[in-house]
């Protein structure tokens, strides 16, 4: 069930202030929505949101190609949500990167996965608590991204990840997730995590949150995101956030597109 107006307003009151006018750029968040390409209705709801979200599509899924194209046309950022080997031995599905793959297998699989996500400007890991700990396959992944000029976002599914340091060694633009918004699928927990994301943005200037296309999450974002500007915050794509963290140097040629960063009106 979607948030009622009363509940939405009560949540918004608790967001906390961002920055006052005239004090420099507002605290800016990026929100990545993972696991897209499987649910047509959830994807459609995200496409209807006005904010410059970053949408992470699983490769070779039923709605990936169609919705990735539509998202890029709408000013949202599209990235590949690359399935990577995990310690729980959960199946990876199509396009998965396993720990026992050769360099050729890793790069062939990654190239095919990227080709299935039109307009992808980067990659983040789906699961990956095993693979992101192993330097050699991550080297191979980063070699492929470096050759294409793509960004990598480390979802940080394990504290032992070497993904970010490996990316830096290959000159791949990289950032890491700050907050998971919906590990618990209820509005109160999502709100608590969202406030944590805003606090990190206030403290550091920017912050990255990762969420999933759950009904509870979409309800919450539909209610709260339109109110960010009123509370002194901005929302941007991950590419724009990387640029903000690097003295506004462009990561990609289309960063001048005003749709990629937005304060609500």
Q: For residue 75, which phi and psi values (nearest 5 degrees)?
A: 90, 5
Residue 47 lies in a domain: yes
pLDDT above 80 for 205: yes
Residue 177 lies in a domain: yes
Q: What band does 22 get if pLDDT is binned at 50, 70 and 90?
A: low
pLDDT above 60 for 179: yes
- The structure tokens listed for 240 are 């724009």
Quote the mean pLDDT of the chain. Answer: 90
CATH code at position 222: 3.20.20.370
Distance CA 51, CA 49 (A): 6
Residue 127 lies in a domain: yes
Tell me which residue has tokens 């927990």.
189
Residue 8 lies in a domain: no
Give the structural domain span for 53: 25-249
- Residue 31 DSSP symbol: E
Q: Is the pTM of this model over 0.85?
A: yes
pLDDT above 70 for 211: yes
Percent of the chain residues past pLDDT 70, beyond the cut:
86
Domain total for the chain? 1
pLDDT above 70 for 201: yes
Q: How far apart are the first and last CA of the chain?
A: 27
Q: Which of 84, 83, 239 is nearest to 149 (CA)?
A: 239
| Distant-in-sequence, close-in-space partners of 202: CB < 8 Å, separation ≥ 6 | 16, 18, 19, 27
pLDDT score recorded for residue 244? 95
Residue 257 lies in a domain: no
Give the model confidence (pLDDT) of 243-262 as tens digits: 999 988 887 554 444 444 44
Residue 12 lies in a domain: no
- The structure tokens listed for 42 are 């959830």
Residue 258 lies in a domain: no
């Amino acid at each position: 069930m979607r948030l009622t107006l009363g509940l939405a307003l009560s949540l918004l009151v608790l967001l906390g202030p961002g920055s006052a006018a005239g004090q420099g750029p507002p605290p800016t968040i990026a929100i990545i929505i993972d696991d897209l390409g499987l649910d047509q209705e959830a994807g459609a709801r995200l496409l209807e949101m006005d904010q410059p979200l970053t949408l992470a599509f699983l490769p070779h899924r039923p709605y990936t190609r169609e919705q990735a194209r539509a998202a890029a046309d709408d000013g949202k950022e599209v990235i590949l949500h690359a399935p990577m080997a995990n310690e729980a031995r959960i199946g990876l599905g199509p396009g998965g990167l396993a720990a026992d793959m050769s360099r050729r297998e890793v790069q062939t699989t990654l190239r095919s996965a990227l080709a299935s996500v039109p307009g992808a400007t980067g990659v983040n890991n789906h699961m990956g608590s095993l693979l992101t700990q192993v330097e050699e396959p991550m080297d191979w992944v980063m070699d492929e991204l470096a050759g294409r000029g793509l960004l990598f976002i480390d979802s940080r599914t394990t504290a032992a990840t070497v993904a970010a340091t490996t990316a830096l060694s290959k000159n791949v633009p990289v950032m890491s997730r700050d907050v998971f918004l919906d590990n618990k699928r209820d509005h109160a927990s999502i709100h608590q995590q969202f406030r944590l994301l805003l606090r990190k943005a206030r403290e550091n200037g920017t912050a990255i949150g990762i969420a999933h296309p759950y009904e509870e999450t979409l309800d919450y974002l539909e209610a709260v995101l339109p109110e960010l500007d009123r509370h002194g915050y901005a929302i941007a794509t991950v590419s724009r956030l990387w640029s903000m963290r690097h003295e506004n140097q462009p990561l990609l040629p289309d960063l001048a597109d005003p749709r990629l960063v937005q304060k609500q009106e």
